[in-house]
Structure 1
């Protein structure tokens, strides 16, 4: 199936590396104009160059800490000035911070919610009115499988992501009459920048490929997923091909999650 996003404008948070970069690359190659949001301007420029190799549309980079309400408003204004609208919003920014419940301070809880939940709330709220006016919109919230099946020690991430799943369902219900489709993609073990960092931190002498292969042994499919596979699913949800798919929480995890 060929996905065509010609004429659409996509905004991807956390767009400079990993899954966000893969999604931006896939959507740009499918014809969308894309705006990449991330904190560091120099890393965004590297991402822009990578996306440009196969892009068929315009590329805009906007340095932004999405955990800040003021910066979100400024970034949205920059996207509107540069690309004119937002058709597709991918709320991808986040980390995988976890720890024992009693060790998590109020400050850590708040920082996690600001980054993963309130950023999605604020960006969706800003994009919503024009989506309603045009009767077309796509919002994709990137979560993780812990949102559905949290394990001990998985806070605050699992809690923030579970709230993101509830937000997805609420927005899907309110958006359906306006042809605004809202879905969540739940990440399992998929190649991303966080695994590159964790491999480097181990300093075990093990190659990165062997590191991924070892992790993949715990996945029913026997391997770690590829960022491009995740991006393909996001691109499908952003397209007309997924015109009757909304309010879903799709696992992209090789059946790692114990729940559907």
Structure 2
């Protein structure tokens, strides 16, 4: 059965590249109106063109630095003015910044929390009242598997993501009586722009060999694709997942030691 998002409006942060763009593309191909939010205007326009080729409905972009509350409010207003409302929020913006605990300054902690936690809080808070009123809504928080099983020297990312998982469960409880479903998707090793950049910086061997090396500890034997991740997000956004809320779902080829 195909996930059908016809008549729905989705907003995807960090949607101009990688996993975010794959999610925007998959949802647009499934019939949703899609708003793509990101900071860089050039990559936003490129994403709009790519997504529009597969879209069955409207596609728009809005420049937004999600670490800034005013940017989020302004972008949300643009989306509602253009597309009418927001039914689906995908909080995807983020990085994988890590380091040893004593190396992380207050400023770095705050930057990471602003990007990965407060951005999700602020955008969801804007869309939430209308979702509750219409008795239909979806919030999908893109986190990582480190949120469940943090390793040494994995802060601030894993700490911010763990907070995002707690936010997901809290919102799922509040949204359930109103048919507003909230889930988190946890990234393992997914082929995306960040790995392309890291390979370019290393300048060692081919990119395929680089991915193969990354996959050595993945039980499924390979790195996942952004499209595979987007398929799960699209399912959660659709009525096919009408009894799924408060779940923290790994999309990682069984890499995580925690379910």
Runs of 4 or more above 2 Å deviation: none
In the superposition, the TM-score normalised over structure 2's length comes to 0.99
How many angstroms apart in 2 are the aligned matches of 1:203 and 1:253?
A: 26
What is the 5 A alignment of 1:148-163? Answer: 148-163=148-163
Q: Are 1:254 and 2:257 counterparts?
A: no
How many angstroms apart in 2 are the aligned matches of 1:149 and 1:117?
A: 18
User: What corresponds to 1:69 in structure 2?
Assistant: 69
Deviates more, 1:90-99 or 1:211-220: 211-220
Tell me the SS of whatever aligns to 2:124. helix
What is the 5 A alignment of 1:70-85? Answer: 70-85=70-85
Tell me the SS of whatever aligns to 1:244. coil
Tell me the SS of whatever aligns to 2:250. strand
Tell me the SS of whatever aligns to 1:176. helix
What is the 5 A alignment of 1:215-234? Answer: 215-234=214-233
How many pairs were matched up? 259
How many angstroms apart in 2 are the aligned matches of 1:20 and 1:148?
A: 21
User: What corresponds to 1:90 in structure 2?
Assistant: 90
Gapped regions of structure 1 (runs ≥ 5) = none
How many angstroms apart in 2 are the aligned matches of 1:18 and 1:147?
A: 20
After superposition, the C-alpha distances for 1:50-101 in whole angstroms (9 at most, x for unaligned) are 1111110100100000010111111111111111110000000000000010
Q: Are 1:105 and 2:93 counterparts?
A: no
Q: Are 1:235 and 2:229 counterparts?
A: no
How far off its partner does 1:218 sit? 1.3
How many angstroms apart in 2 are the aligned matches of 1:189 and 1:195?
A: 9
How far off its partner does 1:203 sit? 1.2
User: What corresponds to 1:2 in structure 2?
Assistant: 2
How many angstroms apart in 2 are the aligned matches of 1:32 and 1:213?
A: 35
How far off its partner does 1:209 sit? 1.2
How many angstroms apart in 2 are the aligned matches of 1:64 and 1:188?
A: 26
Tell me the SS of whatever aligns to 2:190. coil
The CA RMSD measured in Å over matched residues stands at: 0.5
In the superposition, the TM-score normalised over structure 1's length comes to 0.99
How far off its partner does 1:201 sit? 0.6
How many angstroms apart in 1 are the aligned matches of 2:93 and 2:193?
A: 12
How many angstroms apart in 2 are the aligned matches of 1:226 and 1:79?
A: 28
After superposition, the C-alpha distances for 1:157-178 in whole angstroms (9 at most, x for unaligned) are 0000000000000000000000
How many angstroms apart in 1 are the aligned matches of 2:206 and 2:52?
A: 30
How far off its partner does 1:213 sit? 1.2
How many angstroms apart in 2 are the aligned matches of 1:82 and 1:109?
A: 35
How many angstroms apart in 1 are the aligned matches of 2:22 and 2:118?
A: 23
How far off its partner does 1:10 sit? 0.3
After superposition, the C-alpha distances for 1:85-133 in whole angstroms (9 at most, x for unaligned) are 1000000000000001001000000000000000000000000000011
Gapped regions of structure 2 (runs ≥ 5) = none
How far off its partner does 1:251 sit? 0.3
Tell me the SS of whatever aligns to 1:257. coil
What is the 5 A alignment of 1:1-260? Answer: 1-204=1-204, 206-260=205-259
How far off its partner does 1:27 sit? 0.2
